[in-house]
Structure 1
């Protein structure tokens, strides 16, 4: 598996190492991987791929093939941040198109594919460098 950078566009390309040629390469994503969207955390690898103006999020669990993340169908994410991958689940903050300073928190199944809404409208603040900050405390 390789990641090719073409004119500042990133593509995920796969082929067998023993016989890798232009004709044997496959492109699992129909669009380009967003710059700086690669997140590797514990057993998970995440990427964001934008096609026709819509962000799609993918996960690879235990370095297997990438699978599109499934958030409830009423959700229209414009931004997603991985908060935690502790205890065999993914905890993520998703900002919907109608949200500006709030996020909805989702929790996943073990593979990080199917998500369920855990908490709505969590207020955020801007940290150093303009990053959104969410403070979570385990209870």
Structure 2
């Protein structure tokens, strides 16, 4: 629900060229909402590996030592490590392309308006 609201809000703010520039800049530099979503996805993928590993280690420890409890030491030095890999630039560019296009459209419209105003100006 929150993701849908973020998407609606982001699309509504595209009326402003400033907002479009901010979306392009933050998404390309890896500091925007898209990067946050990508990080959460990576964290979820890591969790899919880590939690079964941890359950397996606890089960093995319980089989070896029947007195094993939650406060007992459990060696997890060989656990799967979380490694953050930056999203490929190709994927980032494909996502910011609509916002980039809106920025180009704003530039064309503003240039045309300025050019029309310049051509109407009477020099006398």
**TM-score interval w.r.t. the shorter chain?**
under 0.3
Question: What's the TM-score, normalizing by structure 1?
Answer: 0.20
- Structure having the higher strand fraction is 1
| Bigger RCO (CA 8 Å, 6+ sep) | 2
- Structure having the higher helix fraction is 2
Higher CA-based Rg: 2
Question: What's the TM-score, normalizing by structure 2?
Answer: 0.22
